[in-house]
Amino acid sequence: MRRAVRNGIGGILAVGLVLAFVVGRRRAQAAAPAESCTLTFSGNAQLRDVPVARTETQQSKGLSGLDAVGAGMLFSWDTPAPRVFWMHNTRVPLSIAFLSSDGQVFAIEDMQPNTDTYHLSGGPALDALELSQGEFELHGIGVGSRLIRRECKAIAT
């Protein structure tokens, strides 16, 4: 009888581990952006293949846990509102640009890694763009620049 009970518990544990793996994998996939965009700003500044975080899960994950942020990340919402960002579990120094509903960059702020300091948009933002520190200057994007074109495509999985 004891042996049957142990085998039964072992089977339940195995099923539980498989389910935990599947659920964890689905959460990781849900946190991964499903599209990327080429963003063209006034002054002909262009950023290619920028991943887009549209869902709450994608936005919560953002660029945290990465050692390199590549093309950065565009956070996009359906309606403009005041936004708040922080750098908990984010290892790379980033800058964030907040964009109004007409695409104008109205604020850029540097953010330090692994901090819980709140970075407030200071106004209603429809989009926020995170890049490695120095990348906005490198591309000639500053306060007053305007996002004039966004060409997006699905990311192959």
pLDDT in tens, 53-77: 999 999 999 999 999 999 999 999 9
First CA to last CA across the chain, in angstroms? 48
Beta bridge partners of 47: 39
Q: What is the mean pLDDT of residues 35-42?
A: 98
Q: Is the pTM of this model over 0.85?
A: no
Rg of the chain (C-alpha set) = 20
Tokens matching residue 40: 């063209």
CA 110 – CA 129 distance, rounded (Å): 12
Tell me: pLDDT of 154 over 50: yes
